[in-house]
Chains A and B, each alone.
Chain A
Amino acid sequence: MIDTVAFGAAVAMLAGSLDAWIWVIPGLLIGLVFGALPGISVSMAMALVLPATLYMEFLPAIIFLTSVYTGAGFGGSIPAVLINIPGTSSAVATTFDGYPMAWQGKHNEALGAALFASCIGVLLSYVILLVLVQPMAEVVLRIGPYEMAAIGIWGMVLLGSIGASSVAKGLFAAGLGVLFGMVGMNTAGYMRGDMGITWLLDGIPTIPAMVGLLAASQLFALVNAKFIVEAESERSISLRRILAGGMLVLKNPVTLLRGSAIGVFVGAVPGIGSSIANLLSYGETRRNARDPESFGKGDVRGVIAAESANSSSEGGSMATMLALGIPGGGATAILLAAFAMHNVIGGPRFMEESRDVVYAIILSNFAQAAILVVVGTLFVYGASTIVRLPLRYLIPCVLVMSAMGAFAIEGSIAGPITLFVFAVLGWLLSRYGFPVAAVVVGLLLGRLIETELLRAWQLAGGDVWYVLNYPWALGILGLMVVSLALSVRRDLRKRRARVARA
């Protein structure tokens, strides 16, 4: 499956060009800084540096941009762990266990685990890309609305009741989230729930709502606390503990591999990518764990699952972009723009005619993942000082930065208003024991599920049995039902064993 001649040419191309290397560390650092800023997305960071690549050769330009992509992919997990802010939707699941770990004074371990899971995830995804780029792209083309709806429903079922104190509260919160996701105009052209507000026609702005629900609401609840980590002895920043966190990744190879596989496959699907991959991976890891109740309370496996999936989705989306010329999301769209700036058109012909360049991009990403371990560790070491800041300073600063980030995403006051409304809602929900994470998952998946169900409905002309023509979708749903049945059986056995012991 590997074209050895082109592979050799790629190695020679990288070995003989200093230009291809000097932009890697600056790219990673830019990505880390921008990714760590709440509200600045991966694609925004790449868009900001895009003009600078116009004056570079094609290969160094693409390597620089993919370095920013790789750095920002991990950078988003830093605020997710330290202040519960998922800078992008791909870091949502990282907050579920990363932030509780920070609360317990395990911020060093959480960030170390996130960094190593990210680096290994990127590495694995590019290994898969190197070997399977063409067949993967062909599989992606077969994924239609039925399969997408099935993936979305799978995500909802896995995560619908996450962190709930009761099933009813979990489902209520997830249902609310799904309904929030359906506000505005749907793909069939019906406008609902917009309350006459023009900007709501496009739906509730997802990232400001998410930051409000997860982070700002949490900050309100912290007004009476002094520090994120209450115990002074736990506020230390330790390189040894960051690396120990990294070692935890190696002790959980199944979680890492599962996350990477989900990330590559889901990341390759245009339009969803890492925002769902991290949720699916987290949900699957929790479902397969012997002690699922430990998730959401600071279980390092949750961080590993989320980070390995969101990082490896980079390789997946690169596969679709390189093989088909289809951007999976904002970041790969900017890469395609960089291709165009250098008069190169991505897609099957590029794969065929410039396979050596494709291999050079992939090989360079192996190096980026390795360099990110060093650069990221140093960056995390600096960023962790946030736990030493008194909350009376941190709360207003983070609230202002979140509001400005929300403005930056929407380009209007709609962002800060959404942030405030959802911050209050999130605070009240968590105050009364409702799982805020379930609302976020519903918000992210609600619109996707509705859009895909609508497409499926239109394809079938209203005939529900038409789904029988889509074995992949049935397979995904079948797998979901079987895995749920196994989980229920395992829980029942556990309960019986507990009763017998008592």
Chain B
Amino acid sequence: MSQGETRRQPAWAELAFVTALAAGVLAFLVEARGVSLDPQNLLLLQPTAWLVLGLWAVLAIGCLTRRRPADAPPRESTADLLRILAMVAAFGLFTAGLEQVGYDIAICAFVLVALLIGGERHWAALLLFPPLFTLAVIEGFRLLIPYPFPTTLL
């Protein structure tokens, strides 16, 4: 489907993302209307939700009719994208694990994994930095904040 120096290339990933957000907004609107149709409930919520859903249609058309230069380079390599996704996943696991395995273990494990994802291969750094950083963070925050947080070793 080439046309001059550009070719039509629908942005499927972006379309899926925008559609997921719009679906979330629609669900929010339906739930809010289910709670009450009183203007005190929907005064700002309903018009804003309709605006966002209207804009979804505009953006979806834009995604479907997107044109890119024929020789445009890819945004990033697959390896680069996998590294980002690995960091996102590691951070997600870290967040989920904070209360499960204790803040100390979760921090230490996350820092170690994140260093590996970032490309650190020096064994001394991998061995020393995560536990020392964990110790500093746990003790520092114990001094600073009034709430207790669960730890396993420290």
Tell me the A residues contacting B by CB distance below 8 Å.
40, 48, 166, 168-169, 171-172, 175-176, 178-179, 182-183, 186, 188, 190-193, 216, 220-221, 223-224, 390-393, 395-397, 399-401, 403-404, 407-408, 411-413, 416-417, 419-420, 423-424, 427-428, 432, 446, 449-450, 453-454, 457-458, 462
Interface pair B55/A175, CB less than 8 Å apart: yes
The 4 closest A-B pairs by CB, nearest first: A392-B118, A396-B114, A188-B40, A175-B52
Interface pair B31/A457, CB less than 8 Å apart: no
User: Chain B's nearest CB lies how many Å from the CB of A63?
Assistant: 23
Interface pair A432/B17, CB less than 8 Å apart: yes
Chain B residues contacting A392 (CB-CB under 8 Å) are: 114-115, 118-120
User: Chain B's nearest CB lies how many Å from the CB of A298?
Assistant: 22
User: Chain A's nearest CB lies how many Å from the CB of B103?
Assistant: 8
Measured between alpha carbons, how far is A385 from B145 in the docked complex, in Å?
A: 27
If A413-B98, A432-B14 touch, does A193 touch B31 (CB 8 Å cutoff)?
yes
Measured between alpha carbons, how far is A496 from B71 in the docked complex, in Å?
A: 33
Interface pair A48/B36, CB less than 8 Å apart: no
User: Chain B's nearest CB lies how many Å from the CB of A190?
Assistant: 4
Q: State which of B25, B41, B107, B117 has its C-beta within 8 Å of the C-beta of A190.
A: B41
Measured between alpha carbons, how far is A391 from B120 in the docked complex, in Å?
A: 10
Chain B residues contacting A458 (CB-CB under 8 Å) are: 40
Measured between alpha carbons, how far is A413 from B28 in the docked complex, in Å?
A: 24
List 15 other contacts, CB 8 Å, given A166-B62, A407-B147. A171-B55, A176-B25, A183-B28, A395-B114, A396-B118, A407-B149, A408-B144, A411-B147, A413-B98, A416-B95, A420-B91, A420-B92, A423-B88, A453-B44, A462-B39
Whether B101 is near chain A, meaning CB under 8 Å from some CB there, is: no
If A192-B31, A223-B118, A403-B94 touch, does A172 touch B55 (CB 8 Å cutoff)?
yes
Interface pair B41/A403, CB less than 8 Å apart: no
Chain A residues contacting B44 (CB-CB under 8 Å) are: 178, 182, 446, 449-450, 453
Whether B83 is near chain A, meaning CB under 8 Å from some CB there, is: yes
Whether B32 is near chain A, meaning CB under 8 Å from some CB there, is: yes
Interface pair B111/A396, CB less than 8 Å apart: yes
Q: State which of B36, B55, B111, B147 has its C-beta within 8 Å of the C-beta of A397.
A: B111
If A224-B80, A401-B137, A413-B99 touch, does A178 touch B48 (CB 8 Å cutoff)?
yes
Chain A residues contacting B55 (CB-CB under 8 Å) are: 168, 171-172, 175
- B103-147 interface with A by 8 A CB criterion: 103, 107, 110-111, 114-115, 117-120, 129, 133, 137, 141, 144-147
Interface pair B118/A454, CB less than 8 Å apart: no
Q: State which of B28, B51, B95 has its C-beta within 8 Å of the C-beta of A192.
A: B28
Interface pair A192/B88, CB less than 8 Å apart: no
User: Chain B's nearest CB lies how many Å from the CB of A73?
Assistant: 19
User: Chain A's nearest CB lies how many Å from the CB of B15?
Assistant: 10
Q: State which of B62, B88, B98 has its C-beta within 8 Å of the C-beta of A427.
A: B88
